[in-house]
């Protein structure tokens, strides 16, 4: 049950125990603040909690109709925009329990351009506070004009990242404008689906250019890559349930398997000609409980582009673009290092318990636990997607290459649950260490809550 008037505490009924969303650090700050009677710790608690919840009510939290959200995304940095600031605003169910609007405006101080996104959603089910509450049953209209890295993010995911790495997306950024309409339906028995249609324009930026192999025929690079596509995605998550707060939701249990299948069909306009485009994606996720010894997270996926396509529409390993941990991303891969039209990947993360740290009293008291990660992917590029004069495809970026027979593999060791909040990792690249501009090791920081 979601209490729309409570900002801090969530309760789940029909469970053996109640669920309290306060992490250890927040609980300590709240106690120091004497539950609000000591002003400094109390306001510190409110500020930290708002950032962690990624939401700040505008006005009285019990009656407000608008929220600032995605507070963690207000500051950002990347090589194209330099310092970037963004402000996001959303309505809630107190304004209307079925109709919701949200969006943001951002500005890059280096490229001196405004970016923006707007969404208008109609929920066929009445909501307690926001439109993403489970189960979703809504139609949505989206317009976005922002930056996008073809190798750094999935094309249908929003650009919601706290910090962009300077090196990861250098030479791999574009400006993208699109309009999308979609319908999503979630059910109480674990099966959900989404239908969408999108019109998009992608404009090259910085070092990236849409240049033909036959420069005698096409003397100038193409300024914009236009595409129209539609698709369907299916998801099955047995015993699906969520812990929901004011703006976000977290899966209550990850031990049930999660299956996802999607297919996209459309057309890409390349030098005035339309090319048919089809892509299929299949993924599997599951958490395996190891009882007293922790748990193991597994994520595996398969992707294939069935048709000829320009390089921004091909497959990349969805490189992690910053120093914020994402279990589904590869940390030490630049955004467009490897290009494929068929790709497999697997990620394994072991969160230990009752190992070394649990046997050292001071580390056990602090809650420290060991973390071990192994990630890998492999793919291939068919002859139809190698640029030639005959097929008219764009020349690949300078440091982009197809893969050989060896898979890309990286591993990590780390410490998690530091103060109930932090996670630190050392990541090491095991293969393709001689690749141009290869990043062979690095440290990563995560804030978990």
- The DSSP code sequence of 93-129 is TTT-SSEEEEEEEEEETTTTEEEEEEEEEEESS--SS
Listed range (121-130, 283-292, 342-351, 414-423) with the worst mean pLDDT: 414-423
Q: What is the pLDDT of residue 169?
A: 64
Q: What is the pLDDT of residue 230?
A: 98
- 0.75 surpassed by pTM: yes
Q: What is the pLDDT of residue 232?
A: 97
Is the model more confident about 411 or about 17? 411
Q: What is the mean pLDDT of residues 178-199?
A: 96
Listed range (11-20, 242-251, 257-266) with the worst mean pLDDT: 11-20
Boundary residue ending a domain (14, 31, 53): 53
Query: Which pLDDT band holds residue 237 (cuts at 50, 70, 90)?
Result: very high
Task: Map residue 71 onto helix, strand or coil.
Answer: helix
pLDDT at 4 over 70: no
Residues 45 and 183 in one domain: no
Q: What does each C-alpha distance from 131 to 57, 98, 121, 184, 400 come to in angstroms?
A: 16, 8, 7, 11, 40
Structural domain boundaries, residue 29: 1-53
Q: What is the pLDDT of residue 8?
A: 38
CA angle 12, 421, 5 (to 5 degrees): 35
Residues 20 and 61 in one domain: no
Task: Map residue 410 onto helix, strand or coil.
Answer: strand
Contact by Cβ (8 Å): 322, 431: no
Sort residue 355 into left (φ over 0), alpha (ψ -120 to 50) or beta: beta
Boundary residue ending a domain (16, 31, 53): 53
119-135 residue pLDDT tens? 999 999 999 999 999 99
What mean pLDDT is reported for the chain?
84
Q: What is the mean pLDDT of residues 107-118?
A: 95
Task: Map residue 356 onto helix, strand or coil.
Answer: coil
pLDDT at 231 over 60: yes
Is the model more confident about 61 or about 138? 138
Q: How many CB atoms are closer than 10 A to CB 68? A: 18
Q: What is the mean pLDDT of residues 30-35?
A: 52
Q: What is the pLDDT of residue 212?
A: 87
Residues 137 and 166 in one domain: yes
Query: Which pLDDT band holds residue 375 (cuts at 50, 70, 90)?
Result: very high
| Residue that is written with structure tokens 């029909």 in the block | 14
Residues 148 and 27 in one domain: no
Query: Which pLDDT band holds residue 49 (cuts at 50, 70, 90)?
Result: confident
pLDDT at 323 over 50: no
Residues 15 and 128 in one domain: no
Cα separation, 369 vs 397, whole angstroms: 41
Q: What is the mean pLDDT of residues 380-402?
A: 90
pLDDT at 327 over 90: no
Cα separation, 270 vs 272, whole angstroms: 5
Q: In what helix (H) or strand (E) does residue 48 lie, and over which residues does it extend?
A: helix 39-53
Residues 119 and 199 in one domain: yes
Is the model more confident about 170 or about 154? 154
Residues 25 and 91 in one domain: no
Cα separation, 21 vs 8, whole angstroms: 7
Two tokens, residue 261: 């299948």
Q: What is the mean pLDDT of residues 223-247?
A: 89
Q: What is the pLDDT of residue 411?
A: 96
pLDDT at 289 over 50: yes
Helices and strands of the chain, counted as H and E runs? 3, 20
CATH number of the domain at 396, please. 2.40.160.50
Q: How many CB atoms are closer than 10 A to CB 314? A: 25
Residues 45 and 96 in one domain: no
pLDDT at 11 over 50: no
Q: Which residues pair with 338 in a beta bridge?
A: 401
Residues 83 and 209 in one domain: yes
Cα separation, 61 vs 246, whole angstroms: 11
Q: What is the pLDDT of residue 15?
A: 38
Q: What does each C-alpha distance from 11 to 1, 35, 63, 256, 421 come to in angstroms?
A: 6, 19, 20, 22, 21
Residues 45 and 184 in one domain: no
- The DSSP code sequence of 128-188 is SS-TTPSSPEEEEEEEEEEEE-TTTS-TTS----S---TTTTTT--EEEEEEEEEEEEE-T
Considering 56-65, 69-78, 87-96, 267-276, the range whose residues carry the highest mean pLDDT is 87-96
Q: What is the pLDDT of residue 34?
A: 52
Is the model more confident about 8 or about 67? 67
Two tokens, residue 51: 């950032």
Chain mean position to CA 101: 21
Boundary residue ending a domain (32, 53, 74): 53
Q: What is the pLDDT of residue 318?
A: 75
Cα separation, 366 vs 352, whole angstroms: 15
Residues 46 and 103 in one domain: no
Q: What is the pLDDT of residue 139?
A: 98
Query: Which pLDDT band holds residue 319 (cuts at 50, 70, 90)?
Result: low
- The DSSP code sequence of 169-238 is TTT--EEEEEEEEEEEEE-TTSEEEEEEEEEEEEEE-TT--B-BS-TTT--S-BSEEEEEEEEEEEEEET
Q: What is the pLDDT of residue 41?
A: 62
Domain tally, the chain:
2
Q: What percentage of the chain carries pLDDT values higher than 70?
A: 84
Q: What is the pLDDT of residue 18?
A: 40
Residues 406 and 257 in one domain: yes
């Amino acid at each position: 049950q979601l209490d729309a008037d409570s900002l801090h505490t969530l309760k789940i009924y029909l469970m053996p125990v109640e669920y309290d969303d306060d992490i250890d650090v927040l609980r300590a700050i709240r106690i120091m603040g004497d539950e609000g009677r000591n002003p400094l710790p109390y306001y510190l608690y409110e500020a930290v909690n708002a950032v962690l919840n990624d939401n700040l009510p505008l006005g009285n939290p019990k009656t407000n109709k608008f929220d600032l959200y995605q507070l963690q995304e207000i500051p950002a940095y990347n090589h194209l925009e330099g310092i970037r600031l963004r402000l996001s605003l959303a309505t809630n169910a107190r304004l209307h329990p079925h109709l919701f609007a949200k969006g943001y405006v951002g500005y890059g101080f280096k490229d001196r351009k405004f970016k923006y996104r707007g969404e208008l959603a109609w929920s066929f089910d009445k909501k307690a506070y926001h439109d993403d509450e489970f189960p979703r049953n809504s139609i949505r209209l989206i317009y976005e004009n922002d930056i996008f890295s073809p190798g750094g993010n999935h094309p249908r995911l929003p650009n919601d990242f706290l910090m962009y790495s300077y090196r990861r997306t250098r030479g791999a950024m574009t400006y993208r404008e699109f309009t999308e309409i979609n319908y999503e339906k979630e059910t109480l028995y674990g099966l959900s689906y989404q239908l969408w249609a999108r019109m998009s324009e992608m404009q090259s930026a910085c070092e990236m250019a849409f240049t033909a192999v036959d420069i005698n025929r096409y003397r100038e690079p193409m300024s914009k890559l236009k595409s129209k596509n539609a698709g369907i995605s299916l998801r099955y998550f047995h015993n699906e349930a969520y812990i929901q707060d004011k703006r976000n939701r977290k899966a209550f249990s990850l031990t049930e398997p999660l299956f996802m299948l999607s297919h996209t069909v459309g057309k890409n306009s390349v030098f005035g000609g339309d090319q048919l485009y089809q892509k299929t994606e299949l993924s599997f996720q599951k958490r395996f409980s190891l009882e007293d010894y922790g748990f193991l997270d597994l994520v595996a996926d398969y992707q294939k582009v069935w048709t000829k396509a320009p390089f921004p529409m091909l497959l990349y390993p969805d490189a992690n673009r910053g120093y914020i941990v994402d279990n589904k991303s590869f940390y030490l891969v630049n955004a467009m290092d490897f290009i494929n039209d068929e790709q497999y990947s697997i990620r394994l993360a072991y969160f230990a318990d009752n190992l070394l740290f649990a046997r050292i009293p001071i580390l056990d008291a602090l809650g420290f636990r060991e973390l071990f990660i192994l990630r890998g992917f492999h793919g291939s590029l068919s002859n139809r997607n190698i640029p030639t004069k005959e097929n008219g495809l764009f020349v690949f970026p300078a440091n982009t290459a197809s893969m050989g027979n060896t898979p890309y593999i990286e591993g990590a060791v780390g410490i998690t649950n530091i103060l109930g909040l932090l996670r630190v990792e050392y990541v090491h690249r095991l293969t393709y260490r001689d690749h141009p501009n290869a990043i062979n090791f690095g440290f990563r920081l995560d804030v978990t809550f």
